[in-house]
C-alpha cells in the first residue's frame, strides 16, 4: 500500500485528499461522505489532521486506521509536537505501526492558546524536525535514545510541511533543506493561489535538494491546494495566515461576484480554484487537496 503511494509520488499524477476528524466519538460520518462522492477512485490516498488550531477532534491515527481499512488506500496521519513529548510520540508511532499506519506528517502544531479547551498548555519539546529524527531512528530499528527494538518497526514514510510564500524564498530553501536532510519523502506546501508561486516553490525545492548527493534526493515537493468559494475566506487567508499569498485578482473577482449573489460568488470561486488546480496539475502533478471536509467541492475539482 505505502510502496504504491511512494511510487505514485515519484512517477505519476499524485493527489491526496485531506480529511479533518470532527468533534465526535466517531469517524463514520466522514467515511460516508467520501463514499457518497466516490472519492477513493480519484485519489492516491488520504491524510488526517491532528487537532488543527488546537481544537479538540477525533484522533488522527485512529481516523487513518479506519480510512485504510474502509478504502484500502494509504493514509498520511498527522502528528503534532504541540500535544506530545518524545515518549508519547514514540508510543503512538509504535501502536500505529502495528495497525499499518506508516505515513506520518510531522507538524510543530498551532499554538496551544488557540485551543477551545480551558487553560491548555502546549508541550513543544521541539519542532517537527525532532519527529522526523525519531522516525529516522525507528527506520533504523531503534528508539530515539538509540535503544534497539527486539522487533524492528515496519518502515515509516515521513512527510513534512512548508509555507507556500515568503518575502525571501531563500529562507524557505533553508527550511526545505533541513526537512530533506531529515529524510522527509514529501514536503507539502501551504495552499498556493498563483501558478507563479508554485513555480517559485519548485525552483526553491530543487535548489534545496541540490545540496544532497544521497538517497535524500528522492524527496518530492507536493503543492497544497485549498479551493476558495467565498470572499471572506480569501480575505482571511490573505490578512491573517502567514506563509500564504492570495493575489489581489482573486479578491477583486470575488468582491465583484459577491455583490451579485451568493451563487455567483461560489461560481467565480470555483472557476478560479478549478483553473488553478488544472494549471498546477499540468505543471507539477503532485497535489495535496484540502477542502475542510467539503467533499462536494473536492469531487467537482477532481472531476
Flag whether pLDDT at 16 surpasses 70. Answer: yes
Q: How far apart are CA 21 and CA 174, in angstroms?
A: 32
Q: Please give the pLDDT value at position 171.
A: 92
Of 108, 136, 135, 139, the closest CA to residue 124 belongs to 108
* pLDDT-derived band at 242, boundaries 50, 70, 90: confident
Q: Percentage of residues in the chain with pLDDT exceeding 90?
A: 94
Q: What digits encode the pLDDT tens for the residues 172-201?
A: 999 999 999 999 999 999 999 999 999 999
Flag whether pLDDT at 145 surpasses 80. Answer: yes
The conformation of residue 154, written as its DSSP 8-state character, comes to P
Q: What digits encode the pLDDT tens for the residues 284-302?
A: 999 999 999 999 999 999 9
Q: Percentage of residues in the chain with pLDDT exceeding 70?
A: 98
Q: What is the mean pLDDT of residues 95-114?
A: 96
Cα angle vertex 95, ends 50, 158, to 5°? 55
Q: What digits encode the pLDDT tens for the residues 199-230?
A: 999 999 999 998 876 655 689 999 999 999 99
Q: Are 270 and 300 in contact (CB under 8 A)?
A: yes
3-state DSSP assignment of residue 211: coil
Strand segments, DSSP code E, in 181-246 are: 186-191, 220-225
CATH number of the 2-230+285-302 domain = 3.20.20.220
Q: What digits encode the pLDDT tens for the residues 44-101?
A: 999 999 999 999 999 999 999 999 999 999 999 999 999 999 999 999 999 999 999 9
Domain boundaries, the chain: 2-230+285-302
pTM of the complete model? 0.95
Of 85, 67, 87, the closest CA to residue 77 belongs to 67
- Residue carrying C-alpha cell 488543527: 52
Q: What is the mean pLDDT of residues 105-126?
A: 93
Q: What is the mean pLDDT of residues 105-115?
A: 93
Q: What is the largest CA-CA distance in the chain?
A: 66
Residues 6+ apart with CB under 8 A from 177: 208, 211
Flag whether pLDDT at 257 surpasses 90. Answer: yes
* pLDDT-derived band at 8, boundaries 50, 70, 90: very high
Q: How far apart are CA 160 and CA 186, in angstroms?
A: 6
Q: How far apart are CA 282 and CA 285, in angstroms?
A: 6
Q: Are 236 and 191 in contact (CB under 8 A)?
A: no
Which has more confidence, 103 or 168?
A: 103
Q: Rounded mean pLDDT of the chain?
A: 95
Q: Please give the pLDDT value at position 212.
A: 79
Q: Please give the pLDDT value at position 240.
A: 86
- Residue carrying C-alpha cell 544521497: 214
Amino acid at each position: 500500500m505505502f510502496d504504491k503511494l511512494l511510487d505514485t509520488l515519484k512517477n505519476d499524477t499524485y493527489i491526496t485528499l485531506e480529511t479533518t476528524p470532527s468533534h465526535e466519538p466517531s469517524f463514520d460520518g466522514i467515511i460516508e461522505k467520501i463514499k457518497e462522492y466516490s472519492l477513493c477512485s480519484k485519489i492516491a490516498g488520504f491524510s488526517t489532521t491532528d487537532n488543527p488550531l488546537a481544537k479538540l477532534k477525533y484522533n488522527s491515527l485512529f481516523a487513518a486506521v479506519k480510512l485504510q481499512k474502509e478504502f484500502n488506500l494509504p493514509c498520511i496521519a498527522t502528528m503534532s509536537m504541540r500535544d506530545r513529548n518524545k515518549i508519547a510520540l514514540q508510543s503512538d508511532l509504535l501502536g500505529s505501526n502495528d495497525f499499518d499506519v506508516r505515513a506520518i506528517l510531522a507538524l510543530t502544531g498551532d499554538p496551544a492558546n488557540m485551543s477551545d479547551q480551558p487553560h491548555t498548555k502546549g508541550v513543544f519539546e521541539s519542532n517537527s524536525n525532532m519527529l522526523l529524527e525519531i522516525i529516522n531512528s525507528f527506520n533504523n530499528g531503534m528508539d530515539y535514545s538509540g535503544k534497539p527494538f527486539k522487533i524492528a518497526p515496519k518502515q515509516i514514510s515521513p512527510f513534512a510541511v512548508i509555507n507556500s510564500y515568503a518575502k525571501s524564498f531563500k529562507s524557505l530553501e533553508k527550511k526545505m533543506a533541513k526537512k530533506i536532510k531529515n529524510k522527509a519523502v514529501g514536503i507539502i506546501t501551504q495552499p498556493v493561489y498563483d501558478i507563479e508561486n508554485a513555480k517559485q516553490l519548485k525552483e526553491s525545492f530543487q535548489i534545496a535538494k541540490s545540496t544532497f548527493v544521497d538517497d535524500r534526493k528522492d524527496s518530492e515537493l507536493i503543492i497544497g491546494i485549498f479551493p476558495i468559494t467565498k470572499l471572506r475566506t480569501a480575505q482571511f487567508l490573505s490578512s491573517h495566515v502567514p506563509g500564504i499569498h492570495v493575489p489581489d485578482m482573486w479578491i477583486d473577482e470575488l468582491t465583484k461576484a459577491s455583490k451579485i449573489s451568493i451563487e455567483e460568488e461560489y461560481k467565480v470561486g470555483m472557476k478560479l480554484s478549478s483553473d488553478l488546480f488544472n494549471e498546477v496539475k499540468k505543471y507539477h502533478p503532485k497535489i495535496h487537496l484540502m477542502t475542510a471536509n467539503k467533499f462536494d467541492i473536492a469531487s467537482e475539482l477532481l472531476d
